[in-house]
C-alpha cells in the first residue's frame, strides 16, 4: 500500500539522519524526514522536466524576491499525496497540521511583488510552461515582527537554522561574480516548483554568495585573525539579508551589489548552458530563439549590461551583434507609480559595483540619444527619456529602452503608466506597452488553505476541474438563490472563523467572537494603503458607542496584520496607534461588547493562509491610483469575503467581475483626486467638520499614550499641519465620510445573512479571472512566446 511505503521510507530517513527510531525523535525530525521523503519521491519527475525543457524556448523570471511560503503542505497537495498524508502522519505519531507547523516560512520577499513571483512559478509549472526562477538566497529573510508596548520590534529571520529540506545545493554549477573591489562565488540552490498533478516540475534557482578562499591561512598563521575572516564575511555579506522595503528603494551600495550578484550569476549560468548545448553557434545567432528574461521591476535590470558584457568581452561579438540579441530577450514589469520606489543609482555607485557594466550603460545611453536626435526629438524630451542623467542611472529607463514589452499589473495601473508616469515612453514605443492583470494561485489560496470550501465547491460542481480552470467557478451562480447552499456557505465561513479565533487566542492572547463580522486588513504598512483611515474609523465608532452605549450595531472584529519597514517611522507610528486603539477598545467593558481590535504579530504567508478564509470583509482602501494592483484583494475574494474598497488597482476589476452591489465601493476616484489635488486643504476640513475633528483629536488627547515617542503628534501633523510636506497627502480625511457610510452599509447588509451569503457566493463565482494561471498564460502567449 502507498501509505505503508511512505511510512517505511520516512522511518528509514529518520534512522539514517538521527540514528533513532520514529518514536524517539522530535516533531521537527519527523517533519524533516517527511520532506526529504517527498524530495526523494519527486526526483525523477524533476529531472525529466529539466531535461525536456533543455531543448525548448524557456522564459526566465528574474526577481530579487520570491516569497514562496511553506512548501510542505503545498507540495503534498500538488504532487497528489494529500489522500495519504493524514494517515501517514498518524503512523508517525503526530498530526498533519503539527508537522506543517514545524516548517519555517521562507520569507525571501517583502510583500506583493515577491508573492506574485511565487504564484507565477506555481502556475507556470501547473500549465506546463518552461519558466525558470532566478533570485537570491538570503541568509536572513524578512525580519520577524513582535510588539513591545505596542511598538513594532524586529528580530532576525535565520530561516535555515534547522536546515532547508526543499533545496539542493548545486556546488558544481558555481559561478564567479566580479565586482570592482571583490570577487565572490555564487553557489546555486535549486528548489522544485511542483505543478498541480501533472508531474511537471520546474526549478527556482537561488544564488548564495560565498568567499573564493573562505579562510586565509597565511593571514591566520600570522595571527591576523580578523583579516583572515574579513574576506569570507565580506563575500557572505552580499546575500546576508533581504532589504525590508516594500515599494521603497533602498539606495545602498550593498543592495545594488545584491542585484548585480544574482543577475550576473544567472546570465553566466544561462549563457554557459547555451554554449554547451549549441557549441557551434559562436555568434549566438539562435540565442534569442531560446531565451526570454522577465525583469520583475527594476531590481534585476543590471542583467541588461551584464548580458552585453558577456557577449562583447567574453564572446567577442561586435556591439551591433550583441545589442541586436539583447534587444530581443528582455521584457519588463512595472509594479508601482510611486516615485519613492523608482530606482535611480548615482553614477559612482554603479561604477563601484562594476565599472565595465557602467561603461556599457553609458554607451547604450549615448547611442539612444543619437537615435532620438536623428528622429528630431527635442532636448527636453530627450532629457526625460535618457538613461544616464544628472549623475544618476535610471533603471526603469534602461529597462524600457531595451525591452520588447513593458507591462503594468492591473488595467488602471497600465492606463496611468501610459497616460502619465511613462507618457513619453508610450509615445515613443506604443506597441511595447500592455497590461497583465495580476493573479494568485488557487491551489495555495483556496484548495490548500480553505479545504472545507474547496470540497464543497467540488461537491456542487460535481467535479474538481475548476482547480485547473478557475473560470468554471462561474457555474456556481446557479446556486445564488439556493437557500441550502447559501446556508452552507455561511456555515463554512463560520467554521473558518472559529479556527482563526482559536489561533488568534493562542498566538495573540485575544478573545474574539466568531459571530462578529471579521473585518480584515492585512498587508504591508504604508501610508498609501491607509491603515490610518481604518484606524480612525474605529476611533469614530468608539466615540459613538461611548456617547450611546445602547447603539444597535452588529458586533465587529477589526483584524490587522502587516510589517512596517524598520526605517519607516510613520508606518511604525500607525502600528503603535492601532495597538493603542486596540487596548482602549478591548479593555472597555461596554465598547468591547460591540467591537474588538487585534493587530496580529508577524503577518506572513502562513498566517495569511489562516486569515483569508475567515474574512467577511476585505479592506482594500488605498488612495485611488496608488496601489498598482494588490493581490491580497484577490485572496479574500476567492474565499468569499466582500470587498470594502476604493476604485484602485485590481479592485476595479473585482467590482467589475462580481458586481458593485456585491461589494462596498467608496472614496474619490483618480480623476476626482487629480481635480482637487492643488486646492485640497485638510486643515479646513478638520476645522469645519466636527466629526472629523473629534475623531482626529484623539491623537492629541491623553486617552491614548504613545509613551513619550511623539509618534501620535507626528501622525496628527502629517494630516493637518505639516510644514515640510503636503498635509494628508493620501486623502484620508477627504475619504473619511464616504468610508464611514460604506461601513454603515456593511452593518445594515450583514443582518440579512442569506443576502450576505449570496454576495459572498457571487464573489467566489466570479473570481476566476484572478487565477495566476490566466495571468501566466497571457505572459506566455503575448510576451514570452513559449
Ligand atoms: C511591491 O510589493 C509592489 C510594488 C513595488 O514596486 C515593490 Cl518595490 C514592491 C507591489 C504593489 O505595491 C502591488 O500593488 C502589486 O499587487 C504587487 O507589487 C504585485 O504586482
In this prediction, residue 222 carries a pLDDT of 66
Co-location of 664 and 538 in the same domain? yes
127 C-beta closer than 6 A to ligand 1 = no
User: Can 631 be counted among the known catalytic residues?
Assistant: yes
From the number of C-beta atoms within 10 Å of its C-beta (0-12, 13-18, 19+), residue 497 rates as: buried
Among residues 263, 234, 244, the alpha carbon closest in space to that of 329 is found at 263
Residue 353: pLDDT band with limits 50, 70, 90: very high
In this prediction, residue 159 carries a pLDDT of 98
**How many Å lie between the centroid of ligand 1 and the Cα of residue 64?**
13
In this prediction, residue 721 carries a pLDDT of 85
**What's the distance, Cα to Cα, between the start and end of the chain in Å?**
40
Beta bridge partners of 207: 136, 188
Task: Kindly state the average pLDDT of the residues 429-456.
Answer: 98
In this prediction, residue 723 carries a pLDDT of 77
Please tell me the total count of domains within the chain: 3
Q: Is residue 455 part of a domain?
A: no
Query: Which ligand 1 atom sits nearest the alpha carbon of residue 630?
Result: 16
Question: Cα Rg for the chain, rounded, in angstroms?
Answer: 27
In this prediction, residue 724 carries a pLDDT of 82
Single pTM value for the model: 0.98
In this prediction, residue 522 carries a pLDDT of 99
User: Can 335 be counted among the known catalytic residues?
Assistant: yes
**How many Å lie between the centroid of ligand 1 and the Cα of residue 638?**
20
Query: Which ligand 1 atom sits nearest the alpha carbon of residue 111?
Result: 2
Question: Residue 229 above 90 pLDDT?
Answer: no
User: pLDDT tens-digit profile of 439-452?
Assistant: 999 999 999 999 99
Here the CATH number for the domain that contains residue 263 is 3.40.50.2000
Co-location of 404 and 259 in the same domain? yes
Q: What are phi and psi of 305, to 5 degrees?
A: -65, -30
Angle at 781 between CA 776 and CA 782, to 5 degrees: 100
Co-location of 60 and 88 in the same domain? no
Q: What letter would DSSP give residue 482?
A: -
Residue 223: pLDDT band with limits 50, 70, 90: low
Residue 339: pLDDT band with limits 50, 70, 90: confident
Question: Residue 752 above 80 pLDDT?
Answer: yes
Task: Kindly state the average pLDDT of the residues 487-503.
Answer: 99
Q: What are phi and psi of 215, to 5 degrees?
A: -135, 120
Question: Is 207:188 a contact under the CB 8 Å cutoff?
Answer: yes
112 C-beta closer than 6 A to ligand 1 = yes
Would you call 689 helix, strand, or coil by DSSP? coil
Question: Residue 220 above 70 pLDDT?
Answer: no
Q: Is residue 161 part of a domain?
A: yes
Among residues 74, 131, 121, the alpha carbon closest in space to that of 445 is found at 74
629 C-beta closer than 6 A to ligand 1 = yes
**What percentage of the chain exceeds 90 in pLDDT?**
96
Co-location of 591 and 678 in the same domain? yes
Co-location of 717 and 600 in the same domain? yes
Mark out the alpha helices in 55-81 (DSSP H runs): 72-78
Co-location of 256 and 224 in the same domain? yes
Virtual torsion, Cα 637, 639, 642, 647, nearest 10 deg: -10
In this prediction, residue 218 carries a pLDDT of 67
Torsion sign (Cα): 215, 219, 220, 224: negative
Q: Is residue 620 part of a domain?
A: yes
Co-location of 12 and 145 in the same domain? no
In this prediction, residue 732 carries a pLDDT of 98
Task: Kindly state the average pLDDT of the residues 321-330.
Answer: 99
Co-location of 617 and 750 in the same domain? yes
135 C-beta closer than 6 A to ligand 1 = no
User: Can 309 be counted among the known catalytic residues?
Assistant: no
Task: Kindly state the average pLDDT of the residues 520-535.
Answer: 98
Q: Per the residue annotation, which of 437, 623, 631, 643 is the catalytic one?
A: 631
Q: Is residue 94 part of a domain?
A: yes
User: pLDDT tens-digit profile of 629-639?
Assistant: 999 999 999 99
User: Can 523 be counted among the known catalytic residues?
Assistant: yes
* Residue labelled with grid coordinates 526526483: 43
Co-location of 545 and 656 in the same domain? yes
- What is the CB-side half-sphere exposure of residue 581 using CA atoms within 13 A? 33
**How many Å lie between the centroid of ligand 1 and the Cα of residue 253?**
22
Co-location of 390 and 532 in the same domain? no
Q: What letter would DSSP give residue 140?
A: B
341 C-beta closer than 6 A to ligand 1 = yes
Q: Is residue 598 part of a domain?
A: yes
113 C-beta closer than 6 A to ligand 1 = yes
Question: Residue 235 above 80 pLDDT?
Answer: yes
In this prediction, residue 219 carries a pLDDT of 67
Q: Per the residue annotation, which of 335, 413, 556, 734 is the catalytic one?
A: 335
Question: Residue 215 above 80 pLDDT?
Answer: no
Residue 406: pLDDT band with limits 50, 70, 90: very high
409 C-beta closer than 6 A to ligand 1 = yes
Task: Kindly state the average pLDDT of the residues 217-243.
Answer: 83
Q: Per the residue annotation, which of 11, 291, 443, 523 is the catalytic one?
A: 523
Co-location of 183 and 254 in the same domain? yes
Q: What's the complex ipTM?
A: 0.99
111 C-beta closer than 6 A to ligand 1 = yes
Protein residue with least CA distance to atom 7, ligand 1: 247
Q: Is residue 609 part of a domain?
A: yes
Task: Kindly state the average pLDDT of the residues 221-238.
Answer: 82
Task: Kindly state the average pLDDT of the residues 411-415.
Answer: 98
In this prediction, residue 174 carries a pLDDT of 98
Q: Per the residue annotation, which of 249, 635, 769, 774 is the catalytic one?
A: 635
In this prediction, residue 216 carries a pLDDT of 63
Task: Kindly state the average pLDDT of the residues 115-119.
Answer: 99
Protein residue with least CA distance to atom 13, ligand 1: 630
Would you call 138 helix, strand, or coil by DSSP? coil
Q: Is residue 320 part of a domain?
A: yes
Question: Residue 237 above 80 pLDDT?
Answer: yes
Question: Residue 221 above 80 pLDDT?
Answer: no
User: pLDDT tens-digit profile of 368-396?
Assistant: 999 999 999 999 999 999 999 999 999 99
**How many Å lie between the centroid of ligand 1 and the Cα of residue 435?**
15
Task: Kindly state the average pLDDT of the residues 652-664.
Answer: 99
In this prediction, residue 1 carries a pLDDT of 77
Co-location of 283 and 327 in the same domain? yes
Q: Which set of grid coordinates corresponds to residue 27?
A: 516533531
**How many Å lie between the centroid of ligand 1 and the Cα of residue 625?**
13
Q: Is residue 446 part of a domain?
A: no
Q: Per the residue annotation, which of 70, 255, 436, 524 is the catalytic one?
A: 524
Query: Which ligand 1 atom sits nearest the alpha carbon of residue 114?
Result: 2
628 C-beta closer than 6 A to ligand 1 = yes
E strands, 465-573, in order: 517-522, 556-561
Domain that holds residue 29: 1-53+82-103
627 C-beta closer than 6 A to ligand 1 = yes
Amino acid at each position: 500500500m502507498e501509505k505503508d511505503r511512505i511510512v517505511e521510507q520516512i522511518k528509514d530517513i529518520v534512522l539514517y539522519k538521527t540514528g533513532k527510531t520514529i518514536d524517539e525523535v522530535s516533531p521537527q525530525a519527523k517533519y524533516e524526514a517527511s520532506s526529504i521523503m517527498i524530495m526523494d519521491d519527486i526526483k525523477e519527475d524533476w529531472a525529466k522536466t529539466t531535461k525536456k525543457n533543455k531543448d525548448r524556448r524557456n522564459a526566465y523570471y528574474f526577481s530579487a524576491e520570491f516569497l514562496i511560503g511553506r512548501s510542505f503542505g503545498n507540495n503534498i497537495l500538488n504532487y497528489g499525496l494529500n489522500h495519504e498524508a493524514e494517515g501517514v502522519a498518524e503512523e508517525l505519531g503526530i498530526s498533519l497540521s503539527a508537522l506543517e507547523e514545524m516548517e519555517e516560512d521562507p520569507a525571501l520577499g517583502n510583500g506583493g511583488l515577491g508573492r506574485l513571483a511565487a504564484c507565477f512559478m506555481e502556475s507556470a509549472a501547473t500549465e506546463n510552461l518552461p519558466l525558470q526562477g532566478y533570485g537570491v538566497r538570503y541568509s536572513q529573510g524578512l525580519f520577524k515582527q513582535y510588539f513591545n508596548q505596542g511598538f513594532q520590534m524586529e528580530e532576525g529571520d535565520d530561516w535555515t537554522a534547522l536546515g532547508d529540506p526543499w533545496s539542493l545545493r548545486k556546488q558544481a554549477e558555481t559561478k564567479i561574480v566580479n565586482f570592482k573591489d571583490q570577487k565572490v562565488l555564487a553557489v546555486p540552490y535549486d528548489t522544485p516548483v511542483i505543478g498541480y498533478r501533472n508531474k511537471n516540475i520546474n526549478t527556482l534557482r537561488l544564488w548564495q554568495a560565498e568567499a573564493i578562499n573562505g579562510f586565509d591561512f597565511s593571514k591566520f598563521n600570522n595571527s591576523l585573525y580578523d583579516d583572515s575572516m574579513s574576506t569570507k564575511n565580506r563575500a557572505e555579506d552580499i546575500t546576508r539579508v533581504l532589504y525590508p522595503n516594500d515599494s521603497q528603494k533602498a539606495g545602498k551600495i550593498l543592495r545594488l551589489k545584491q542585484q548585480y550578484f544574482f543577475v550576473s550569476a544567472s546570465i553566466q549560468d544561462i549563457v554557459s548552458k547555451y554554449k554547451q548545448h549549441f557549441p557551434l553557434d559562436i555568434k549566438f545567432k539562435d540565442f534569442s530563439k531560446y531565451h526570454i528574461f522577465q525583469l520583475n521591476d527594476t531590481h534585476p535590470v543590471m542583467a541588461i549590461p551584464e548580458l552585453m558584457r558577456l557577449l562583447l568581452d567574453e564572446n567577442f561579438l561586435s556591439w551591433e551583434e550583441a545589442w541586436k540579441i539583447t534587444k530581443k530577450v528582455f521584457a519588463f514589469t512595472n509594479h508601482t507609480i510611486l516615485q519613492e520606489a523608482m530606482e535611480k543609482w548615482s553614477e559612482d555607485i554603479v561604477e563601484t559595483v562594476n565599472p565595465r557594466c557602467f561603461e556599457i550603460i553609458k554607451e547604450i545611453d549615448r547611442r539612444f540619444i543619437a537615435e532620438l536626435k536623428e528622429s528630431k526629438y527635442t532636448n527636453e524630451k530627450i532629457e526625460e527619456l535618457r538613461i544616464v542623467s544628472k549623475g544618476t542611472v535610471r533603471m526603469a529607463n534602461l529597462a524600457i529602452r531595451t525591452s520588447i514589452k513593458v507591462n503594468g499589473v492591473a488595467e488602471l495601473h497600465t492606463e496611468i503608466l501610459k497616460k502619465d508616469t511613462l507618457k513619453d515612453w508610450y509615445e515613443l514605443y506604443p506597441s511595447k506597452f500592455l497590461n497583465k492583470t495580476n493573479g494568485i494561485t488557487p491551489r495555495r489560496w483556496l484548495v490548500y488553505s480553505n479545504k472545507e470550501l474547496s470540497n464543497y465547491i467540488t461537491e456542487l460542481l460535481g467535479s474538481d476541474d475548476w482547480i485547473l480552470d478557475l473560470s468554471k467557478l462561474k457555474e456556481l451562480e446557479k446556486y445564488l438563490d439556493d437557500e441550502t447552499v447559501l446556508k452552507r456557505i455561511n456555515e463554512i465561513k463560520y467554521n473558518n472563523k472559529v479556527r482563526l479565533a482559536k489561533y488568534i487566542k493562542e498566538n495573540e492572547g485575544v478573545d474574539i467572537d466568531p459571530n462578529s463580522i471579521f473585518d480584515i486588513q492585512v498587508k504591508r504598512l504604508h501610508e498609501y494603503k491607509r491603515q490610518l483611515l481604518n484606524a480612525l474609523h474605529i476611533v469614530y465608532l468608539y466615540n459613538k458607542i461611548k456617547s450611546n452605549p445602547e447603539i444597535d450595531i452588529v458586533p465587529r472584529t477589526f483584524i490587522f496584520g502587516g510589517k512596517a519597514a524598520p526605517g519607516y517611522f510613520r508606518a511604525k507610528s500607525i502600528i503603535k496607534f492601532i495597538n493603542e486603539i486596540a487596548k482602549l477598545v478591548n479593555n472597555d467593558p461596554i465598547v468591547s461588547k460591540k467591537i474588538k481590535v487585534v493587530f496580529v504579530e508577524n503577518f506572513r504567508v502562513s498566517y495569511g493562509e489562516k486569515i483569508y478564509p475567515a474574512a467577511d470583509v476585505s479592506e482594500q482602501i488605498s488612495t485611488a491610483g496608488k496601489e498598482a494592483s494588490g493581490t491580497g484583494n484577490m485572496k479574500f475574494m476567492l474565499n468569499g469575503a466582500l470587498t470594502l474598497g476604493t476604485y484602485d488597482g485590481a479592485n476595479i476589476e473585482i467590482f467589475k467581475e462580481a458586481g458593485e452591489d456585491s461589494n462596498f465601493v467608496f472614496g474619490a476616484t483618480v480623476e476626482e483626486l487629480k481635480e482637487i489635488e492643488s486646492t485640497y486643504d485638510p486643515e479646513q476640513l478638520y476645522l469645519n467638520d466636527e466629526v472629523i475633528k473629534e475623531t482626529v483629536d484623539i491623537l492629541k488627547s491623553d486617552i491614548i499614550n504613545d509613551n513619550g515617542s511623539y509618534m501620535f503628534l507626528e501622525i496628527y501633523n502629517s494630516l493637518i499641519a505639516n510644514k515640510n510636506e503636503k498635509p494628508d497627502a493620501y486623502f484620508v480625511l477627504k475619504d473619511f465620510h464616504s468610508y464611514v457610510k460604506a461601513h454603515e452599509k456593511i452593518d445594515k447588509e450583514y443582518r440579512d445573512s442569506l443576502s450576505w451569503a449570496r454576495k459572498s457566493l457571487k464573489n467566489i463565482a466570479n473570481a476566476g479571472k484572478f487565477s495566476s494561471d490566466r495571468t501566466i498564460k497571457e505572459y506566455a502567449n503575448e510576451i514570452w512566446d513559449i
